[in-house]
Structure 1
Amino acid sequence: MNTVKNVTVISLVDQIAADFTQVARLAGVELPNTAIIVEKLPAPHFPPQKLPVGKVAVYVFARGDQTLKVGKVGTKSHARYTSQHYNAGSATSTLAASILSDAGAHSLNPDDLVGMGSWIRTNVDRVNFLIDESYGRHVLALLEAFIQCKLEPKYEGFKSQAGTA
């Protein structure tokens, strides 16, 4: 397991961004040190209002030292980036739906179940890794995969994929 216990995920993200520039270099992509913009949104947080023009992103939701979800968005995925993860019924594989299906692990009360978006904003940290879309979809996919490997999110993929290689 790659996660470091007793260290918040949000405290690791600057090093993750720096490490990724080395990974990209191994893949033949030169990224300047300023290529990745890291936005740290500790709980309680406000979701981003929009994906900046010309940017793509990998986002991370974490609670303390536990990474909950890692995902990526392209330039046409504004709703996925800004709102879908805060609403269980908005799309497939949202953070809200994953937490609701695992409510016991988060000690949720009935009010939390009704106001899942509010619970996420209040209790979950969010980090956005933004890069220029000009780097292409392969670099975005590599960044997402690298962060998933580093942080091992609890809610990733589908239950039917669990334990598959």
Structure 2
Amino acid sequence: MDLVNEFDKIILDVSRVLGKPIGKEKYEIIDRGLPHQPRNLPAKMMGVYTFWFEGDFLKIGKSGPSSNARFLSQHYNPRSARSTLAASILLDKRMQEKGITENNVGDWIKSNCRRVDIILDSDLGIFTLELIEAALHYKYEPIYEGFAAQR
């Protein structure tokens, strides 16, 4: 699945339809691969991160320019923050058969989930960040976003 080109098309199409096209020079889409190694959010940048596993998106989230920990490390540790990918995986009964524990969940995510990041200039503003995150939520319906009762 060519997620880089798919994400690029979503960003260009959605922003153009709304009359405020986002120039390609204002963002970069980075496929960190599978396995992946998370990287810092560059200074004066913000980002949308995605975690893909066996044909489904598990989590799609955003980090503002002052939220490097959210972007870099929180999703690999179930106790680091509210609503992390690691905590969601540990609570999912379907994932228990994979031998995932609190001690190995971070390494499991790095080894088994493809991560694709969208890095944006922070001068685009928070509404742009939220727009891209929402467009990806709408298209891909990540498993660990929102409450199951709301679906």
* TM surpasses 0.5: yes
| 1:119 and 2:102 are equivalent in the alignment | no
Match of 1:90 in 2: 80
* Identity rate, percent: 37
Residue 134 (structure 1) shift: 0.8
CA apart distance, 1:140: 0.7
Structure 1 segments of 4+ aligned residues over 6 angstroms from their partners: none
1:20 Cα shift?
A: 1.5
- 8 Å Cα contact 2:57-2:142 kept in structure 1: yes
Relative distance call for 1:66 and 1:106 in structure 2 (3 A) is farther
- In structure 1, list runs of 5 or more residues that go unmatched: 1-7
**Alignment RMSD (CA, Å):** 1.6
Give the Cα separation in 2 of the matches to 1:14 and 1:107: 34
The answer to whether residue 64 in structure 2 is matched with residue 74 in structure 1 is yes
Map of 1:142 onto structure 2: 131
Give a deviation string over 1:51-109, Cα, whole Å, max 9, x none: 11121111100113110000011011111000000000110110000000014336321
Give how far 1:151 is off: 1.1
Do residues 157 (structure 1) and 149 (structure 2) align? no
Residue aligning to 2:33: 42
3-state DSSP of counterpart to 1:62: strand
C-alpha contact 2:52 2:115 (8 A) present in aligned 1: yes
1:130 paired with 2:119, answer yes
SS in structure 2 at match of 1:107: helix
1:133 to partner: Cα distance:
0.7
Q: How many Å apart are 1:17 and its aligned residue?
A: 1.5
Unaligned runs of 5+ in 2: none
